[in-house]
Copies of this chain bind each other. A is one copy, B any other.
């Protein structure tokens, strides 16, 4: 059986054709930076048609940048997509354009976690958390071998868990949520403020007037920039606390760590998180942290798996 998986991101849209667990074809298109949902849907249809021009796939799965209303295929307001300021029935719109084949929709970190569980770092482990550190921090949950969506489609929003309930550490830069410490967006704000206060750092020189991309953070860390090292250490601590909480609350066997920021910071970052997780372990249960393995196509492959997961 052949199925199509689509990863709809803020900058690119990727489609894969998966047959018997193997990617047999893939296509990448830029997501339109302006316009509205209709333009985004057009782009998806073009990517799908490119990987499967003859319409062999029996169903389509798609990962989207935001929580999806369960059972509906509706993606509400998505800040990273152009003109996406209202509920859009992605599933129905795509199904109409793709010969009325069934379309399953879920959010991008959920499908990324699903891909890691079935083909990546989480194979054989039925209770795991996939944590993706990029601009923000998101996660997906596999419990007893199944992806958890939750009644509101919000399961896995670890970036919004609280790691500082009295808000003592966030210094006005948030309300004590994990994302206030560990996402690239917040890290840049923190770095900017510290630099404005006169703390020395090479971060902004490296960025040369642009945003502090993951690559910049990795370079500054390698160069021994103390401000960067301090912020990344704090990010790892906040991540470890949030993940440790998830583990004792849900009882999990494995953490898969991915996302642009985690990938760039590499093994040093992974082992730092794992070590702190060990210090925070409960009842002697040690939970390993593995690096995500699916890379660039993880989202699309996971989306192709959604078809079986949702039906």
Contacts and interface: CB of A to CB of B under 8 A. Distances in A.
Nearest to A70: B251
A302 B161 CA distance: 30
Interface in A152-193: 152-158, 160-166, 168-169, 175-176
Interface stretch (A34-42, A87-95, A237-245): A237-245
A149 interface: yes
A250 interface: yes
Given A152-B285, A155-B250, A168 B164 contact: yes
A272 interface: no
A221 interface: no
Nearest to A246: B249
A283 interface: yes
A298 to B, nearest CB: 21
A148 interface: yes
Contact of A280 (B126, B175, B248): B175
| Residue among A139, A165, A251 with max Cβ neighbours from chain B (10 Å) | A165
Interface in A243-259: 244-246, 248-253
A143 B148 contact: yes
B251 A152 contact: yes
Interface in A18-66: none
A210 interface: no
A297 interface: no
Interface in A130-157: 139, 141, 143, 148-157
A67 interface: yes
A147 B169 CA distance: 35
Interface residues of A, number: 47
A165 B166 contact: no
Given A152-B285, A162-B163, A241-B165, A141 B250 contact: yes
A148 B245 contact: no
Given A168-B168, A251-B150, A245 B143 contact: no
B245 A245 contact: yes
Contacts of A152: 251, 283, 285
A291 interface: no
A242 B67 CA distance: 22
16 contacts: A141-B249, A151-B252, A154-B248, A154-B251, A154-B282, A156-B251, A157-B248, A162-B163, A162-B244, A162-B245, A162-B280, A164-B168, A165-B237, A166-B234, A245-B249, A249-B249
Interface of A: 67, 126-127, 139, 141, 143, 148-158, 160-166, 168-169, 175-176, 234, 237-238, 240-242, 244-246, 248-253, 280, 282-283, 285
Q: 8 tightest CB-CB pairs across the interface, nearest first? A: A150-B251, A165-B241, A161-B245, A155-B251, A163-B165, A162-B241, A168-B168, A157-B248
